[in-house]
Structures are given as structure tokens and as C-alpha cells.
Structure 1
């Protein structure tokens, strides 16, 4: 799938259906010249409904259809016949989707479960027919209620990827390579910064047929929280990961400084991210001998456990999976 097919932000217009009119019909048939009121109720207008779909992972299907209008309710008719309800419009969205009011930016709903349905806009109620208004003093009411108008508005739909482990690191730290080695994901890999332009998800197979989900978030740079690089656009995907795996290459000039910069960008974006479990992996460690590893250990940041791994040489990967599984459970 190309980068253009990953869409995690969309603005849509939605309007629910108007309720049908109640009928003001008076009963007429042979031998009954002046029957009473028998006008039926109008049907309700169609709802706009959002439904969670675990098989979707992007909002690409909404890219070219951004206006959604539900059907109006049918009018009531004679013999107390109720009008038909307007057809609902169901919009499937991936799990992890949040819905905001486009004007106020307020978060209205979150979709986090498969088949979860949220009524974004309710259809208008149908009007009541004239038989509801019959009384001893008014036995032939010749009026009925009109249907209630539907609702409408602009909404922002955003996707925050649901994954157990989020990969955090600078561009070219080896995140895509790690994901491609320990999962079946096929992210784009090349020797230049910002190769990854969209988050990639992969399922990590663990012991005894167990598994967990890992997400490769596009590289963060200093100033990402202010919108530099691609970081600002993708930092929100880290918010739903329960564990953060920091990846810093062994040939980095200053591992401790890189870690502090990454941590600071997360703090500026959302301080709650620092409450998540964190693990540090030193990638590209196949170029290190035992003596160099001991030297590097003395300069590692404090307060976080560190592992030496190599995706290419398949070193330390089982140990990494064991540690992540332990943290997740």
C-alpha cells in the first residue's frame, strides 16, 4: 500500500433525515359519511451512524466521499398508517477513531471496539397524525404535526492507531527494519531520513501462539511537537500505545542526549505519554564488540532498561520480545 493510501485525518459534512409529516386524514368509507380522524404518524428521519471495523486501518475510504445525508422519514397516511423510517447512513471507521466538532475542536466520541455503533446525528422525529389530537371537545381535528428537522454539521475524524508497542526514534534509527524482521509487515526501507511517511502496523508472533501489535511511527526530530518534520502529524499515534520502545542506533554520537530529546518532544506533545512503560533498544549493535558495549553502558540514560539488538544480524530479538511481553502483561 502506498503512502497516499494511509489517511488518518478527514473532515466530513453529515446531515440526518427529517421526520415525516403526520397525516390529517378523516376516515371515509361507504355508509360512514363522517368517520373520525385516522391520520397516521410520520416516520423518523435516518440517523448518521459510525461503526467500528477491526479490519480497517485507515480513513482512505472517506477521502473522496465527504458528504453524508440520511433519508427523510415517510409521511403518515390514512387508517393510522405510519410512514416509513428514513434509511440510516452507516460510516465504517477503524478502531482508534476519534470524532471532533469541526468548529469547537471538542472531542465528541471515540470508537475503540469492533462493531461499536455511535449515533453521530439522530434523525428528526416524525410528526403525529390527527387521531392523537381527538378529544371530546374536538372530535374531528383537521391538523397534524409536521416532522422535526434533522441535524447537520461538519466533523473532523482522526485516527489514533491502536497498538500495544509504539516505536519511537529519530529518522533512520532502524525502526522499519526492526518491524520488518520481527513481524510480517513490509514497510518501505531505505538509507535516508523520513523513508517512512505513514505509521506501519505489524503483529509480533510470540511463544505459544501468542502475539502483540507493534507500530512504527514516522521519525521524530527535535521540534516535532511544534510541527517540524513529520512528528507533529504522527505524535498522536503514540498516545494509544501502552508501551513505548525507544530505538537509538549504536553509532549515535550521544545516546543519552538523543533519548532526552525524544522524551522532551513527547512531553511537549502530551505529558501523559511519560506515564507509559518505556524500554530502550540500542539498534545496529552487530557493529559492537563486548568491550564497546561495556563502554556504552556507562553512558546510557538512567531510569530506563536498555537492550542491545541488531535487526539485520538477528541479535537480541528474542530477548527484546520477552521483555516487551513481560511489560505488556
Structure 2
């Protein structure tokens, strides 16, 4: 199950209490105070781990609390600090304060950490309160409470290429052809209801492309229609977009392209300016008599939008090598962060 959002409360560990104690030693009947301080509470930390790609392991957790510090002891022994609670998250996790909406962190790199709730301070023992006029203080402090915060976590997939288009445009079939990803493929719209990532090997080199199969977009997606918001946010971090259009469909090709471009523009103007490639799919389903006309229509649409176009068939493999080469060229020309 692909879970890309979660809401939870994080609480830092409470500090340990200070100790009231006095030195007890043979031949020292009135030993001074020697109560130690309490240990500090543990922090709640989010850490990016490569082995995670969804927020499923967090989705059902409501409260996360770090360990409290141990109490101080006699002989000026300070209590042990509480253990930090380290919560793993996938790369691309955005952390927000649920109450204010403030972005607390954008976690993208493996090993990156964010402290979201600090532990409380340990209380001082009575040895800390000794003065020239009060040599036997009988008071100590309680440990301080840890920070408490309600968080919203949102996952935005990190990929080199995002496959976008109307439902049933051939996105899942393509990613299953060029990578080891195996999303559900069927001949009806909305077969794909969650994003999928695939890794494409580039020739014999170690270079790869990470491709995201984004579920189909429909009119009104920028307003949340058809789970549009949930799908569009995964496009934000793709360095290059591949806009797939079905060449075998009867609807006007230019209108289908313009509809998706309008949804991207309405959701985020920056997305509409993202480098993109127009990809005509299902070339194998186009009859010989219609082939030339459909390819000319695809070329005309690409010229109108000032982009390049590639026609492919994920079934026969026609045009696949050209597509991968063009995408690799476009990705290499883009900065790592967009």
C-alpha cells in the first residue's frame, strides 16, 4: 500500500528529577549535600532512510514519545539521559507544523536528520543549591517536560522523469517495459491509483534514470478532482516530465495535451515551465492508413508547444530506445534540484 501522508504527535522525553541526598561517611556526621542532577530527556528525530519509499510505517501511529531521563542519585551521580527516538522516513518527506502549516524541514538526502521535539532538561540536585548560608538544602528540581508538537508529514516522490497524461495513456505499460517495476496494467481508465517508481538502466554504464508513473490526471485535477492533489504533488520534484498521449484515441490530440498542460499551470505555474517531452503511445494500435496522419498530428502539437516528440509502442518496443536516449539527454541538462 502506498501511503504518502501521515499525521502524528511527537513528544520529547521528560527530564529526570534532581536528587536530595547528603554525604554519609564514617566519622563525618554532618556531610554536605551530594544529590545529583537528573538526566535530560531524549529527542524525537526524523532521519531519511533509503530503504523506505512510503509513510505506511507511520500512518497508524498517533503518538511518538522519546524516553525520559533517569533521576539523579546520591554521591553526585547524574541520571542517564533518555534515549532519542529516531523515526525513519523516505527521501522526499516534507515536515509541517500541523497547527500553523509552517514547513519545519524538507528531508531529501539519505542520513539527513531533523529534531522535531527536544527532550526536557534534567532537574538540579540539592548539591546545586548549597550556599554559605544554607549548607544543607533539602530541595531539588523536577525534570522539565519535553517539547510536544503535532506534525503533518507529506511525501513527494524524488524522480528524474515523471510520466504524466490522461488515464489509460499507457504510462504503466511503458514503465513496466523500461524498468523492473510491475504496476497493474489493464485496458480501462484509472487502473493506476498510486505512484510507482522504476529504475531504467542506461546502456552498459552504471548510470540510471528514476522514472515515476503518476496516476492519470483529469479535468479539475488542480482542484482535487480524481485525487488530483494527491497525484500532482508527486510531479513537483521530477526534473523532467514525459507527457504521454494515446495515438490510437479518437479524441482531438491537441485538446488532450492542452487539458493536461492547463491542469499543471493551474496547480503550480512552475510545473508548466518544467522541461517536458511529448510522447505518442500505442503506435502498434494505429492502423497503417492512419499512421502517417497521427505522426504528423503529434509533430504539429510538439511544434506548437516548442518541445520535441517521440512516438513509441510499449508492446513492440518501437521507439523505446529513442525515448530513453532523449529523456537521458534532457535529465543530464537539468540541475539536480528543481
> Equivalent residue for 2:272?
274
* CA deviations over 1:78-131 (Å, ceiling 9, x no partner): 111011111222211111111111122221112111122211100001012222
Q: Structure 1 residue 154 and structure 2 residue 146: aligned?
A: no
CA contact (8 A) 2:280 2:298 kept: no
* Equivalent residue number for residue 67 of structure 1: 63
Gaps of at least 5 residues in structure 1 are: none
Equivalent in the alignment of 1:113: 109
Indicate yes or no: 2:310 matched with 1:307: yes
Which of 142, 163, 175 aligns to 2:171? It is 175
Q: Which residue of 1 aligns with 2:246?
A: 249
Q: Paired residues, what number?
A: 325
- Give the whole-Å Cα distance in 1 for the aligned partners of 2:129 and 2:301: 83
Q: For 1:292-303, list aligned pairs within 5 A.
A: 292=293, 293-300=295-302, 301-303=304-306
Other structure's SS at 1:246 match? strand
Residues 1:239 and 2:236 aligned together: yes
SS of residue paired to 1:164? strand
Q: Please, what TM-score do these two structures have when normalized by structure 1?
A: 0.94
> What's 2:184 paired with?
188
- Of 311, 331, 337, the residue aligned with 1:328 is 331
1:291 and 2:289 aligned: no
The 1-side partners of 2:213 and 2:232 are apart by 11
Distance in 2 separating the partners of 1:12 and 1:296: 47
How far residue 263 of structure 1 moved from its aligned partner, in angstroms, is 1.4
State the match for 2:12 in structure 1: 16
Structure 1 residues 317 and 59 mapped into 2: Cα distance closer, same or farther (>3 Å)?
Answer: same
CA contact (8 A) 1:170 1:248 kept: yes
The match for 1:35 is 31
CA distance in structure 1 between the partners assigned to 2:133 and 2:265 by the alignment: 71
Q: What SS does structure 1 have at the residue aligned with 2:264?
A: helix
CA contact (8 A) 1:218 1:230 kept: no
1:161-203 Cα distance to aligned partner (Å, 9 max, x none) = 1111111100000000000000010000001110001100000
Aligned to 1:258: 256
Assess, with a 3 A threshold, how the Cα gap between structure 1 residues 81 and 295 changes in structure 2: closer, same or farther: closer
Equivalent residue number for residue 197 of structure 2: 201
Aligned residue number for residue 220 of structure 1: 217
Provide the secondary structure at the position in 1 that maps to 2:159. Answer: coil
Q: Which residue of 1 aligns with 2:335?
A: none
Query: Partner of 1:104: helix, strand, or coil?
Result: coil
Q: What TM-score do you get using the length of structure 2 for normalisation?
A: 0.92
Farther-moved stretch of structure 1 (173-182 vs 303-312): 303-312
Aligned-partner Cα distance in 2 for 1:288–1:48? 60
Query: 2-side partners of 1:273 and 1:47: how far apart?
Result: 37
89, 100, 106: which one pairs with 1:93?
A: 89
Identify which range, 316-325 or 288-297, moves more after superposition.
Answer: 288-297
2:321 matched to 1:318? yes
SS at match of 1:188: coil
**Which range moves more in the overlay, 216-225 or 257-266?**
257-266
1:135: Cα distance to partner?
3.1
Tell me the residue number matched to 1:229.
226
Task: Name the SS of the counterpart of 1:258 in structure 2.
Answer: helix
d(CA) in 2 for partners of 1:39, 1:49: 31
Q: Secondary structure at the match of 2:122?
A: coil
Whether the 8 Å contact between 2:253 and 2:297 is mirrored in structure 1 is no
Unaligned runs of 5+ in 2: 333-338
Distance across 2 between alignment mates of 1:249 and 1:153: 47
Shift of 1:296: 4.0
